[in-house]
């Protein structure tokens, strides 16, 4: 088997935007796709079946294979029912794209706990719940591909998105750990920070920039990360507008103090601490 042919791919938030593109691309490559979407608004309110149904109709009318799922993946019960739907319909699950998300943007000074927690519940807990439900099946069969949808807001921050940025940064850490734990079972886990024009970004980025960032540019990279050909794991990629870049954490050469330094000693060496000439990719010293 190669590529995505006959692989069963579960994609959350696949009723529109990037998720829809991922689903259409995977189906064109021969995958059997479970199109999950709660059908709510951008802020997570409401629900409906029309969004997921429309994507399934597009796929089946083009000769592909897909099934709709409307579960709320922010709960463990909903996530388990989603994976059960893949197993019941197709008998397996081979790949997961944790793409579902909502926005509750506001400055941190005005952000409520409810706004913060609602975003983490969908992006972070939803990704945890779906991955947790799929994990034993992927490990048992000795094959799995997981893609986490992070964001440049998680990598670099963005005004008004403390909740979103925190959730997206957390997904990079989750993916890094799962990559370590899944490696022996050939379960590969990577993250993609997409730059694309969708309803999530329609008022976040300038219109002239969004015009260059069609979601169709991102889908082939996600498709590759789901494929049998992919051997990367624990990596993060920034993708959009035809650009594909690997994002890596670097560390400066830094300073080694023989004894606990005073504040003045730290201050005197701070320019050496922050000097990035000769920086190298960071590693976990306790890993």
Complete DSSP assignment for 20-48: HHHHHHHHHTT-EEEEE-----TTS----
Q: Check: CB of residue 48 under 8 Å from CB of residue 40.
A: yes
Tokens 């079946």 locate to 49
Residue 281 DSSP SS3: strand
| pLDDT score of 211 more than 60 | no
Residue 284 confidence (pLDDT): 81
Class of domain 8-248: alpha beta
Q: Check: CB of residue 151 under 8 Å from CB of residue 164.
A: yes
Q: Check: CB of residue 171 under 8 Å from CB of residue 124.
A: yes
Question: Dihedral of the CA atoms 264, 270, 273, 276 (nearest 10)?
Answer: -170
Q: Among 128, 124, 155, which Cα is nearest to 237's?
A: 155
| pLDDT score of 40 more than 90 | no
pTM: 0.92
Question: Dihedral of the CA atoms 67, 73, 78, 83 (nearest 10)?
Answer: 50
With cut-offs at 50, 70 and 90, classify the pLDDT of residue 215.
confident
Question: Dihedral of the CA atoms 172, 176, 193, 231 (nearest 10)?
Answer: -170
Domain boundary assignment for the chain: 8-248, 251-281
d(CA 62, CA 56): 10
pLDDT digits 0-9 by tens, 164-183: 999 999 999 999 999 999 99
Out of 129-138, 234-243, 276-285, which region has the weakest mean confidence (pLDDT)? 276-285
Q: What share of the chain is helix, strand, coil (3-state, %, to 5)?
A: 45, 15, 40
pLDDT digits 0-9 by tens, 61-105: 999 999 999 999 999 999 999 999 999 999 999 999 999 999 999
164 is catalytic: yes
Q: What region, left, alpha or beta, does residue 3 occupy, with left being phi > 0 and alpha being psi -120 to 50 degrees? A: left
Among candidate residues 22, 70, 90, 164, the one labeled active-site is 164
Residue 93 confidence (pLDDT): 98
DSSP bridge pairs for 146 = 96, 189
Q: Check: CB of residue 240 under 8 Å from CB of residue 195.
A: yes
Residue 151 confidence (pLDDT): 95
- What would the mean pLDDT of 245-265 be, rounded to a whole number? 97
d(CA 144, CA 96): 8
């Amino acid at each position: 088997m190669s590529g995505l042919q006959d692989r069963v791919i579960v994609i959350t938030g696949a009723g529109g935007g990037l998720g829809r593109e991922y689903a259409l691309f995977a189906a064109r490559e021969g995958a059997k796709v479970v199109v999950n979407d709660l059908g709510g608004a951008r802020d997570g309110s409401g629900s409906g079946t029309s969004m997921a149904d429309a994507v399934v109709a597009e796929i089946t009318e083009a000769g592909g294979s897909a099934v709709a799922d409307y579960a709320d993946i922010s709960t463990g019960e909903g996530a388990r029912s989603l994976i059960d739907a893949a197993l019941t319909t197709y008998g397996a699950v081979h790949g997961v794209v944790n793409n579902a998300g909502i926005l509750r943007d506001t400055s941190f000074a005005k952000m409520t706990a409810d706004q913060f927690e609602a975003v983490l519940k969908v992006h972070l807990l939803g990704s945890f719940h779906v991955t947790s439900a799929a994990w034993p099946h992927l490990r048992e069969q000795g094959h799995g591909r997981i893609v986490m949808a992070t964001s440049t807001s998680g990598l670099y921050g963005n005004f008004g998105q403390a909740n979103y940025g925190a959730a997206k940064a957390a997904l990079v850490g989750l993916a890094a750990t799962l990559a370590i734990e899944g490696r022996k079972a050939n379960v590969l886990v990577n993250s993609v920070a997409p730059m694309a024009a969708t309803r999530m970004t329609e008022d976040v980025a300038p219109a002239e920039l969004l015009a260059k960032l069609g979601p169709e540019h991102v889908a082939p990279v996600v498709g590759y990360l789901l494929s049998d050909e992919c051997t990367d794991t624990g990596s993060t990629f920034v993708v959009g507008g035809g650009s594909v870049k690997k994002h890596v954490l670097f560390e400066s050469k830094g300073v080694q103090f023989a004894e606990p330094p005073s504040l003045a000693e730290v201050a005197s060496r701070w320019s050496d601490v922050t000097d990035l000439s000769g920086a190298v990719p960071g590693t976990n010293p306790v890993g």
